[in-house]
Amino acid sequence: MTKHNHSTGNGVDPIKAGILGRCPNCGEGKLFNGFLKVAKSCHVCGQDYSFADSGDGPVVFVILIIGFIVLGLALWLETNFQPPLWLHLIISIPLAIVLSLVLVRWLKGVLITLQFKHKAASGQLDDKHTDNGQ
């Protein structure tokens, strides 16, 4: 059983559901089948997830956010303690990897649940408006 409805009056908080990896329709079922692979549908309410396409959006946000955090920490460490390069690497690389893995899943979930809530779809051109402005 699959549902194609996008009812948003269900009281599901898209941010919370996205971070927890839950169904944007019922808030109970799993959104992901694995770490980042979106499931085909919700095992609780049957919501079809074929609408879900976060594209590269989560990765762009992760690069910007994690880059800001890691670079900011590295600059703060350098100006206050002047640690050796190897210490920067021991701190920065694992921090960047762990934060990136956590944040990319959260942001992918949030973008998909917001996509559901706002009924976002791929842009399409309307043929009657592309005919020389007439």
The answer, yes or no, to whether residue 5 has pLDDT greater than 90, is no
Q: What global pTM score does this model have?
A: 0.80
What residues does each domain of the chain span? 14-119
Could you tell me the CA-to-CA distances from 47 to 6, 66, 95, 101, 120 in Å, in that order? Answer: 9, 33, 36, 26, 16
- Does the structure show a pLDDT above 70 at 129? no
pLDDT tens, position by position, 60-106: 999 999 999 999 999 999 999 999 999 999 999 999 999 999 999 99
Choose between 130 and 69: higher pLDDT. Answer: 69
The pLDDT of residue 114 is 94
Residues ≥6 apart with Cβ < 8 Å to 75: none
Helix crossing, 57-81 with 85-117: angle to 10°? 150
